[in-house]
Structure 1
Amino acid sequence: MMQKKNRAFLKWAGGKYSLVEHIQARLPQANKLIEPFVGAGSVFLNTQYKRYLLNDINPDLINLYNFLKAQPDAIINDAREFFSGSRNNENTYYALREEFNATEDEYYRAILFLYLNRHGYNGLCRYSLQGRFNVPFGRYKKPYFPEEEMFFFSEKSQKATFTCLPFEKVFTRARKGNVIYCDPPYAPISKTAAFTSYAARSFGQDSQEKLAELATRASKKRGIPVLISNHDLPFTRALYQGADFSMLSVKRSISQNGAKRQPADEILAYFPPAKVPLKKKRKRSAPNNTLGHVPLIKVAN
């Protein structure tokens, strides 16, 4: 039985909080969990591994996580001030969004990223092609300040290393004894449903195919198990051929109108580790004797 579920401190489109039990049930034991697409970190927060390698292509997210890991008291105290009622209005939101896009101060940027996440429309994280955060004001009555969740995240992150790398590079860091969990941007249900502007770079069909290829190679050639979650589509089933599938029905949508949220089927594809034979140590051959086996001849004095 799972302990109390821990919520992420960020709002996140496609977050895995509601699926944590199913994902946890499919994840094998390992000495380290590697997440190439950590997002808000619900799986990290609700699993018990000795160590974690948590990656995301979004530098603002990883910047905030690193500050929260290193100096939780400072960042929580400074961020709290931005959750006063005086800052929950349209003019202030757009002024602070502009400051966020202009500043190079990483600490201030981390605080503003949290503010924008909780005050912006539906907790979306979206950037223009120029890399500017462009989510509109959310019009919430009183945005929640996630103090408790931030302290828990900080405490747990002492077991984690955060990186901001392309997912391909994260796979090269995996070793036998680790497990990889991938929560990539969803394969679109339709061509108009693509939601890939989460970071300034998009995650298209080529990226989906590359991820499937890396998962297959990691499990078959290197003996590292991989679990991937995605939409349950003919495309993803063909992509993850050879994996063990489990299906889930989830209530999830980008729509703010709860009544319009249709359950979307989700698939968990598990690539079990192949038994990779241990490399046999080669017997060291005797050093070459340049004299060959010519017997020594005693020379009479």
Structure 2
Amino acid sequence: MAQEYRQIAISEPKPFVKWVGGKRQLMQELENNFPKQFGTYHEPFLGGGAVMFNLLSKEPKLSCNVSDFNSDLILAYITIRDKLGKLIESLENHSKNYHDDSTEYYYEVRKQEPKLQIEKVSRLIFLNRTCFNGLYRVNKKGQFNVPLGRYTNPNIVNKENLTSVSKILQSEKIKISCRGFEAVLDDTKKGDLIYFDPPYQPISSTANFTSYTHRDFTEDDLERLATLANQLNSKGCHVLLSNSNSKVVKDIFSEKHWKISSINANRAINSNAQKRTGHKEIIIKNY
């Protein structure tokens, strides 16, 4: 029985990239805040997909409508779903070259701007697996600019997980799109669950990190998000949001139908390990 459980657990899909604000460490808190029943699951800031994969591991036939503004990331999801074999071949080539000379090869790949689908996606996964803290960051020109990480043997070709991800994404009930978050309004109906996990609002002048695409997520964007959330509330949707423990966020979601609770969280990307713990985040919901 124990062996059977282990095989099931191993096959559960997990995020194939580390992403700023990834939710794996907060999954239990989020699960505690999910509605008991809902229709289609919508996630307009997909990122690494931890929440979606967690839901699908429990309910593989769940209807999901997920999207992100980062076109390279969405291309990765589609490539893993549709062209896994060729992607794994490309990643194995990256892995071999990296282990021959990690520093030279990393910066050589970082400079590249491949145009073909497989090469673009394998480059993204390779850099994510080998860069400093797995931090995805681009500059104003959209160029990846994170230095090499300190790894002895990074798992560049996680074939088992990529296979699990590919298999579960092939469900006809999962729709993956590259688009802005406001497009979700037309796809939703009463009883659906919409989870918003946008780039967080900074809580200090040195905490501003929104560059997972080459455009920032501003306070104006947060206002637009709040307007959208209120529209979804009026439609009878279940709305759940994550954000930093910021006064700005709390003020914007101050209407009485929003319930705000705080949770403990770590900051895995801080270069100072002592500053990765003891942080608060907030969860906002309308049910």
Q: Could you say which TM-score interval applies, normalised by the shorter chain? A: 0.7 to 0.9
SS in 2 for 1:193: coil
1:231-270 matches, cutoff 5 A: 231-241=244-254, 242=256, 243-270=258-285
Alignment CA distance shift 1:23-1:87 (3 Å):
farther
- Residues 1:24 and 2:35 are matched in the alignment: no
- Residues 1:33 and 2:47 are matched in the alignment: no
Aligned to 2:227, which of 192, 210, 213?
213
Aligned to 1:57, which of 69, 86, 103?
69
SS in 2 for 1:191: coil
Cα deviation 1:43-74 (Å, max 9, x = unaligned):
00111362111111111100010010112233
Does the Cα contact within 8 Å between 2:267 and 2:276 map onto a contact in 1?
yes
Identify the residue that residue 9 of structure 1 maps to in structure 2: 16
Does the Cα contact within 8 Å between 2:44 and 2:68 map onto a contact in 1?
yes
SS in 1 for 2:206: helix
Whose radius of gyration is greater, 1 or 2? 1
Identify the residue that residue 200 of structure 1 maps to in structure 2: 214
Q: Distance in 2 between matches of 1:40 and 1:22?
A: 18
Q: Distance in 2 between matches of 1:30 and 1:125?
A: 32
Aligned to 1:132, which of 143, 162, 165?
143
Q: Distance in 1 between matches of 2:275 and 2:241?
A: 27
SS in 2 for 1:40: coil
Give unpaired runs (5+ residues) of structure 1: 273-301
Query: What is the percentage of aligned positions where both structures have the same residue?
Result: 33
Does the Cα contact within 8 Å between 1:69 and 1:157 map onto a contact in 2?
yes
Q: What is the CA distance between 1:25 and its match in structure 2?
A: 2.3
Q: Distance in 2 between matches of 1:87 and 1:219?
A: 54
Identify the residue that residue 72 of structure 1 maps to in structure 2: 84
Residue identity opposite 2:153 in structure 1: K
1:96-107 matches, cutoff 5 A: 96-99=109-112, 102-107=113-118
Q: What is the CA distance between 1:87 and its match in structure 2?
A: 5.4
Identify the residue that residue 182 of structure 1 maps to in structure 2: 196
SS in 2 for 1:55: strand
- Residues 1:46 and 2:58 are matched in the alignment: no
TM score, norm. by length of structure 2: 0.87
Q: What is the number of equivalent residue pairs in this alignment?
A: 267
Give unpaired runs (5+ residues) of structure 2: 1-7
Q: Distance in 2 between matches of 1:77 and 1:143?
A: 17
Residue identity opposite 2:146 in structure 1: V
Q: Distance in 1 between matches of 2:210 and 2:130?
A: 21
Q: What is the CA distance between 1:6 and its match in structure 2?
A: 5.2
Identify the residue that residue 122 of structure 1 maps to in structure 2: 133
Q: Distance in 1 between matches of 2:192 and 2:262?
A: 24
The structure whose residues are more often helix, as a share, is 2
Does the Cα contact within 8 Å between 1:88 and 1:142 map onto a contact in 2?
no
Q: What is the CA distance between 1:224 and its match in structure 2?
A: 1.1
TM score, norm. by length of structure 1: 0.83
Q: Distance in 1 between matches of 2:166 and 2:267?
A: 27
SS in 2 for 1:266: strand
Identify the residue that residue 158 of structure 1 maps to in structure 2: 170
- Residues 1:93 and 2:106 are matched in the alignment: yes
SS in 1 for 2:242: strand
Does the Cα contact within 8 Å between 2:42 and 2:64 map onto a contact in 1?
yes
Q: Distance in 2 between matches of 1:260 and 1:107?
A: 37
Q: What is the CA distance between 1:19 and its match in structure 2?
A: 1.0
Residue identity opposite 2:82 in structure 1: A
Q: Distance in 2 between matches of 1:259 and 1:239?
A: 31
Identify the residue that residue 5 of structure 2 maps to in structure 1: none
Alignment CA distance shift 1:80-1:177 (3 Å):
farther
Does the Cα contact within 8 Å between 1:87 and 1:93 map onto a contact in 2?
no
